[in-house]
Amino acid sequence: MLEHKQLQEISARIKDLREFSDYTVETFADKLGMTAGEYAEYENAERDIPIGILYNIAGVLEIDPSVILFGKGATKHDATVVYSGKGTSIERYPGYEFVSLNADFINPELEPMIVTLKEGVTPELVRHSGQELNYVLKGKLLLMLGDKEYYLRAGDSIYFNATLPHAQVPMGGEAEFLTVIQK
């Protein structure tokens, strides 16, 4: 899950953006395909917000996800450079961190991130629109995808339909992978 402070900040931004856009909780939840109660748990920071839902929220609001995640919009039109160790980082929950590689690019069609998973992390299954590429940089990774499991090592990759429920789990220690998500 996101650190509690980060979760509260993101949830507050979502609420402000929803209200600014004149959506009721019920109408907004309906646009996201969930109940008002489920949505309210996210908006009130009572429940961690999966990345797929953050992207869906940004889509409904017609804004870049970086506004929700980082509190500021992107500024680059032509190119954005992320120098080693300087990407925009967020810890989804203890042991699961990702670094955005395009947080400052306006209207990206892809979301590239470096994801680091500590040993013992078991993320929940998520699904989102589009397709996804995972390329293992370090360690070993189990990708659960629908009713199948794929075991990957450094140098291996998988490209898949991200509408299927999926989760990545580190195997035998920390794992690091590049993920590129199509919006």
Domain chopping of the chain, boundaries: 4-70, 88-182
Per-chain mean pLDDT for the chain: 89
| Band of pLDDT at residue 54, cut at 50, 70 and 90 | confident
CA atoms within 13 A on the CB side of 58: 24
Candidates 136, 176, 141; CA nearest to 156 is: 136
Per-residue burial over 167-183, b if 16 or more Cβ lie within 10 Å, else e, is: ebbbeeeebbbebbbee
**CA 90 to CA 2: how far, in whole Å?**
8
CATH number of 4-70: 1.10.260.40
**CA 68 to CA 3: how far, in whole Å?**
15
Characterise 6 by phi-psi region: left (phi > 0), alpha (psi -120 to 50), beta (else): alpha
CATH architecture of 88-182: Sandwich (2.60)
| pTM, to two decimals | 0.73
pLDDT digits (tens, 9 = 90+) for 58-92: 989 988 887 888 887 778 889 989 888 888 887 76
**CA 8 to CA 47: how far, in whole Å?**
10
User: What is the mean pLDDT of the segment spanning 100-121?
Assistant: 89
